[in-house]
Amino acid sequence: MNAPYQPSASLSAKISRKLLPMRARRDIRVSLKRPIVSFTFDDFPRSALYEGADMLAKHNWLATFYVAAGLAGVHNHHGHSFTDADLLYLQTKGHEIAGHTYSHLDCGQGGEHQVLAEIEQNKSALREMGVKKPIEHFAWPYGTTNIANKTALQSHFKTMRGVTPGVNRGRTDLNCLKSTPLYSGAKLSRATDLIEGLEKRPGWLILFTHDVRGNPSEWGVTTLEFLTIIDAVKTSGATVLPVGEALEMVEKQNG
């Protein structure tokens, strides 16, 4: 198995990522009386569905799955990836199917035309796999992009999600929504702290992970840890919605 891809760690790449949240923005205002939490899964490994989503179902909660169609059927560091049948199962359960690039291309490295071609290839492949609803939301693979792609894609999706931790409150960029990782171990404390803070300062908290299993990858979470997060969200009193429905509620409350 090949080593997982890692985005560039060069100084110029780090500076670019630091400046990007201030550029090519598409702002809305997020002001809520009751917090919203969105559970999201990236790529997605089968455990995200048959462990993660099935655990959410016990509370009648739905999630958003950001799917890179080119990963269908592969086995990698996240475990076994989804199949066509898994997509249909997601659809029948009412979960939201959203987009990645087809091959999980790093949008911080890909040019505008290459990225747009991958977007269209992904949408076409998902339709061929039986996905019926339009793909209206997107997550940047690895959380990376550049100004050109951030600008180009905004006409293709209602939201685009990054991986910068935090709660979406006040002036919020739809081209790179904040989202907080659910990663196993000490890294989970940041998510727990943000959930606990929602009662005093309501906002829209987007959570994301990959595999949900007993021995998760570096970018996944154990089933017990995921259950702890679910319990914390329930205690917070937040409304749990997929990204698309959460956006509709935000827009309704903020005009």
Task: Say how far apart CA 182 and CA 207 lie, in whole Å.
Answer: 7
What tens digit of pLDDT does each residue of 16-61 get? 556 666 778 999 999 999 999 999 999 999 999 999 999 999 999 9
| Distance of alpha carbon 251 from alpha carbon 255, whole angstroms | 6
Whether 66 and 44 have beta carbons less than 8 Å apart is answered as yes
Q: Is the peptide bond before 39 cis (omega within 30 degrees of 0)?
A: no
Q: Tell me how crowded residue 231 is: count the other CB atoms within 10 A of its CB.
A: 12
pLDDT number for residue 24: 83
Task: Express each pLDDT in 155-205 by its tens digit.
Answer: 999 999 999 999 999 999 999 999 999 999 988 999 999 999 999 999 999
Element (H, E) at 27: strand 27-30
Q: What CATH superfamily is the domain 21-253?
A: Glycoside hydrolase/deacetylase (3.20.20.370)
Backbone angle region of 237, left / alpha / beta, with phi > 0 → left and psi within -120 to 50 → alpha: left
Residue 192 — left, alpha, or beta (φ > 0 → left; ψ -120 to 50 → alpha)?
alpha
Q: Where are the domains of the chain?
A: 21-253
- Give the bridge partners for 137, in sequence order: 159
